[in-house]
Amino acid sequence: MTTLALLAAAALAIACVVYVARPFLSEPEPDDDVLAGLDDRERRRLELLEERDRTLAALKELEFDHRTGAVSDEDYRALVGPLRRRAASTLRALERSPGPSDRQRTHVG
C-alpha cells in the first residue's frame, strides 16, 4: 500500500509540475510583430536608433581593441575621430526627431 501511495503522489506531483510549466514551455504569440505600420518619422527614428547603437558598439569595440593592444595608437587615432563624429551627428539627429513620448505629450496638452 505504501508503494501505491508513493506512486500516486509522484504522479500527482508530475502532473502539477507539467500543468504549472505549460505556459512557460509554449511559444507566445505576438500581438503585432509587423513594422509595416510605421510612418516615415517613426521609421527614420528607428533607423537613427539602430545607427546610434551600431556606432556606440563600434566605439566600444575600438576602445577595447586599443586597450588590449590589438589596435595601435596611430590606427586608434585615425579611427576614433570619424566614429565619434558619426555618433555625435546621430545623437543630434535623434534629439531633433520627435519620439513617442513627445507625440503623446502633444496629444494630451
Give 30-62 pLDDT, tens digit per residue.
666 665 667 888 888 999 999 999 999 999 999
Distance CA 44, CA 52 (A): 12
pLDDT at 27 over 80: no
pLDDT value for 98:
75
Angle at 83 between CA 78 and CA 84, to 5 degrees: 105
CA distance 60 to 91: 16
Q: What is the mean pLDDT of residues 70-89?
A: 96
Half-sphere exposure of 44 (CA within 13 A, CB side): 12
Residue 51 near residue 90 (C-beta atoms within 8 A): yes
State yes or no: pLDDT of 9 exceeds 50: yes
User: Could you tell me the residue ranges of all domains in the chain?
Assistant: 39-44+55-109
Among 6, 106, 93, 103, which residue's Cα sits nearest to residue 46? Answer: 93
Check: CB of residue 87 under 8 Å from CB of residue 59: yes
For residue 78, what is its C-alpha cell?
585615425
Confidence of residue 23 (pLDDT cuts 50, 70, 90): confident
pTM over 0.85: no
